[in-house]
Chains A and B, each alone.
Chain A
Amino acid sequence: MSEQPVMVFQDVTKVYPLPAGDVTALDGVSFQVERGEFISVMGPSGSGKSTLLNLMGCLDVPTTGDIFISGTRIGDMSDIELTNLRRDRIGFIFQYFNLFPLLNTLENVTFPLMLKSGKKADAEKGRQVLRSVQLEESLYSHTPTELSGGQQQRVAVARALINDPDILLCDEPTGNLDSKTGAGIMELMTELNRKGTTIIMVTHDHGIAEYSKRTIRIADGRIVS
C-alpha cells in the first residue's frame, strides 16, 4: 500500500467578498504533494500564489473544495485545531525571516517546541537542529539583530524544523538575501529534502525554482502547468 500524500487540494476555490464585488483568488485548483517532494510554486503578482500559500499553511480555509493535510480535512476545523495543525505538521519559512526580536537564537528555535510540549524548552534538541542548519554554536545566545541575514534565515529554517513537520512551506526564502547567501540557504533546503523533508516553496526567481524537483505554475487563480 502506497504512503498517503502529505497534501491534497481537491477543486479548491477561494473567493474574497469585497464591497466592489467578489474576487476569486483561486478557481478550482487541484493537486497533491507526495512525501519527500520539493515543489516550487511560481506565478506573476496577483496570480493567487499568496492565497495558495495561506491555504497550504492552514492560515485560511477554502470557500469550496477540500484540502487534506496528511489525510486530515481542514475545511471543518476550528481555529484551535488549525493552530495545532500548523504547529505540529507545518514549518514556515518567511522572506523576512520573522524571528522574535526579544528572544535569542536558541529560544527562537525552541519556541514552537514549547508551544507543542507546554514545557520548558528542550535546549539540546534546539542545539541539534541548529547544528543541522550549520549555525555556529557561538551564535546561539545572540538576538536576531546581532545576526546576518543568512544566519537569521538559518535560524528561521531551524525553527521551522524543530517540531519535525510533514511540510516545510517557504515564502521567497532567499528574497531578502544576496545571491551567495541565498545559494547557501538553497543548498541547505536541498540537503533537507534529500533527507526526506517535503518542501513547497513560493518564488519569483527561476534560478531558485531550479533547486526544486517540480514546479506548479499558477495564473489568474488556476494552475497552468
Chain B
Amino acid sequence: MSGGIFYEIAKRNVRIHLLRSSLAMLGIIIGVVAIASMGILGNSLVLTVSDSLKTVGDSVIVTPHVGGNTRGFGGGGGGATSLTLSEQDFLQIKRVSAPNVAIPVLQSSDRMQLGVGSDEIVATIYGLNPDDVPELLKLKEGGYSRGNSGCLVGSKFADDHNVKVGSRILIGTDGNKGTLRVTGIIEERGMAFDVSTDSAVVATKDWFDAAYNRNDFDKVVVKVKKLEDLPIVKSAIEKQMNKRDTVVDVMDTRKTMDTIFQAFGQITTFVSAIGGISMLVAGVSILNIMMMSVTERIKEIGIMRSIGAQRKEVMAMFLYEAAILGIIGSIIGGVMSLLGGYAISTLMLQNTKYLFVPSSMIHIVYGMTFGITICLICGIYPAWRAANLNPIDALRHE
C-alpha cells in the first residue's frame, strides 16, 4: 500500500487550508460537545435520581385500591376501605409475603412546634413499629426510639429546623397531641416509594394510634430479601388480596424504578439526538468542504491517475482528509465536552459528582465516534467522485 504518501498529501492539504479546515472542524467540535454534554447531563440526571431511589428498590408497596371496584367505606367484614388497610389485611399480606418482612406504615401530616412559643410548622409524621424501624431506616446520629415518647427525624428536617438528638417536638396545635423527644436522626434517603423521611418525623405506632385514634394502616411495605422474589411476592399479594374485588394496589418498586430509568433514558436519547442534529449540520459542512477540495484538485487527480494512482488510492486520499478533520475535531470536541458537561451539570443539577463516572464518559466516546463517522460518511461521496473522474477530462481541467 502506498497509503503513506496519500495520507501525507491529505494532511498537508488540511494544513495549507487551515482556516477552511478549522471552520469545518468547528462544526464537528460543536456537534461532539452538544451530543456528549447532553448525554452527560442525562446520565447525571439518571444517576442523581437513581441515588435517591436506590434504597427502595427492594420493596413491594401495598396500598388501598383507590377508585374502581372496592369494598366501600366502612371496611365491611373487616376488610380494607378505599383509604386504609385493616389489621386483618396486614396479617394476610404478612402471611403470603413470609419469610419476607412486612412493615405496616401509618402516615399523617400535622402542625408541630420545636419548643413552646416557637413558630408552627407542618410536616409529615409516620407511625412505625419500633421493631420494624431498623429494617427500613438507618440512622446517622443517635439511637432508635424504644419508648412511646421518642421519635426520629429526617436529616433535612433536622438541618432545616436545627433539631438535634434530645430536642423536643410538640405535635398538633399547641402540642395538643403530645410531645416527642428526638432520639435519632435518619440518614438521607431521598425520594422514596415507601416512606420519605428526609423532612418527616417518625414516631412509634402505639403513640400514633393513640394520638390520631387509628387502628388501621395507610400502607404495608414488604422488604424482599432476594430481588428476584419481587414479582413472586407481588403476585402472591395480588392473588390473596384481590380475589374477588380489587382491594389493594401492589407496586413493585424495582419495576417502577425501571420504568422511571427507562423514561430518563429516553429523555437522554432525545436530547442527545438534538445534539446529533448539530452534528448532521457539521457533516453537511464537511461534505461541502470536501467537494470544494475535490473541485480545486481535479487536475491534480488527473495527474495522479495518469501516472499510475489507482482509484482506491485517490479515494483513500480524500477519506484520509475527512478522517483527519473528524478525528481532530472530535478530540477537541471530546475535551471541550468535559468542560461543557461540567458547566451544564453545575447549572442544572448543582452537582458534578457524576461527571467522571464511566457511564457519563461513554457519552464523550459516543460523541467522538459519531463525529468521526459523520466525517467519513460525508467524505465518501466527494472521495468517490474524485476517484471516478475520467483522467483525460481531469487532465484538461483548468
Contacts and interface: CB of A to CB of B under 8 A. Distances in A.
Interface in B295-318: 299-300, 303-311, 313
A46 to B, nearest CB: 15
B9 to A, nearest CB: 5
A178 B299 CA distance: 24
Contacts of B395: 59, 94, 98
Contacts of B307: 86-87, 92, 111-112, 115, 159-160
Contacts of B4: 114, 120
A100 interface: yes
A88 B392 contact: no
A103 interface: yes
A83 B313 CA distance: 11
Contacts of A112: 307-308
Interface in B3-29: 4-5, 8-9, 12-13, 16
B391 interface: yes
Contact of A54 (B16, B300, B392): B392
Interface residues of B, number: 24
User: Which DSSP category, helix, strand, loop or mixed, fits chain B's interface?
Assistant: helix
B13 A59 contact: no
Contacts of B304: 100
Contact of B306 (A57, A84, A116, A121): A57
Contacts of B12: 102
B313 A115 contact: yes
Interface string A193-205: 0000000000000
Contacts of A57: 306
A107 interface: yes
Contact of A79 (B5, B306, B311, B313): B311
Contact of B308 (A83, A102, A107): A83
B1 interface: yes
B296 to A, nearest CB: 11
Which of B304, B305, B306, B391 has the largest number of chain A CB atoms within 10 A?
B306
B222 to A, nearest CB: 71
A57 B299 CA distance: 17
A116 B308 contact: yes
B261 to A, nearest CB: 52
Contacts of B299: 98
Interface in A110-150: 111-112, 114-121
B118 interface: no
B308 A86 contact: yes
Nearest to B398: A96
Contacts of B300: 100-101
Nearest to A79: B311
A80 interface: yes
Interface residues of A, number: 32
A160 B12 CA distance: 23
Interface string B55-76: 0000000000000000000000
B213 interface: no
B5 A114 contact: yes
B303 A100 contact: yes
B395 to A, nearest CB: 8
A159 B12 CA distance: 20
B314 to A, nearest CB: 10
B350 interface: no
B2 interface: yes
Interface string B166-208: 0000000000000000000000000000000000000000000
A34 interface: no
Contacts of A115: 2, 307-310, 313
Interface of A: 54, 57, 59-60, 79-80, 83-84, 86-88, 92, 94, 98, 100-103, 107, 111-112, 114-121, 159-160, 163
Given A60-B392, A86-B307, 10 more contacts: A79-B311, A83-B309, A83-B310, A92-B307, A98-B395, A100-B303, A100-B304, A107-B8, A112-B307, A114-B2
16 contacts: A54-B392, A57-B306, A59-B306, A59-B391, A84-B308, A86-B307, A94-B303, A98-B395, A103-B8, A107-B5, A114-B4, A115-B307, A115-B309, A118-B1, A118-B2, A163-B308
Interface of B: 1-2, 4-5, 8-9, 12-13, 16, 299-300, 303-311, 313, 391-392, 395
